[in-house]
């Protein structure tokens, strides 16, 4: 049951992580929403920036994603 408790705690941290990365999330969302027929790898640069921000925020909070 310890693993379930830890997973629940990680899920409760997601809104905090997303708030810390709101700017990069907005840039990524704008890229994805720009085109109705988005192609694979179109927004890779924006996604990598968002992903890196989430990983850094999680590391700062001493948690995992």
- Does residue 55 belong to any structural domain of this protein? yes
- The 10s digit of each residue's pLDDT in 9-61 is 888 989 999 999 999 999 999 999 998 888 899 999 999 999 999 999 999 99
- Does residue 23 belong to any structural domain of this protein? yes
| CB 21 within 8 Å of CB 50 | yes
The DSSP code sequence of 21-61 is THHHHHHHHHHHHT-TTPPTTTTHHHHHHHHHHHHHHHHHT
Global pTM reads 0.83
Q: Which domain holds residue 28?
A: 2-60
CA distances from 35 to 20, 26, 30, 32, 56 (A): 26, 15, 9, 7, 29
What pLDDT, on the 0 to 100 scale, is given for residue 44? 96
What pLDDT, on the 0 to 100 scale, is given for residue 38? 85
What pLDDT, on the 0 to 100 scale, is given for residue 20? 96
- Does residue 65 belong to any structural domain of this protein? no
**For residues 24 and 63, which has the higher predicted lDDT (pLDDT)?**
24
Report the number of distinct structural domains present in the chain.
1
């Amino acid at each position: 049951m310890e693993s379930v408790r830890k997973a629940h705690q990680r899920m409760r941290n997601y809104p905090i992580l997303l708030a810390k990365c709101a700017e990069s999330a907005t840039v990524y969302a704008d890229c994805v929403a720009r085109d109705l027929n988005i192609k694979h790898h179109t927004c890779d640069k924006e996604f990598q920036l968002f992903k890196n921000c989430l990983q850094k925020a999680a590391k700062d909070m001493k948690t995992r994603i």
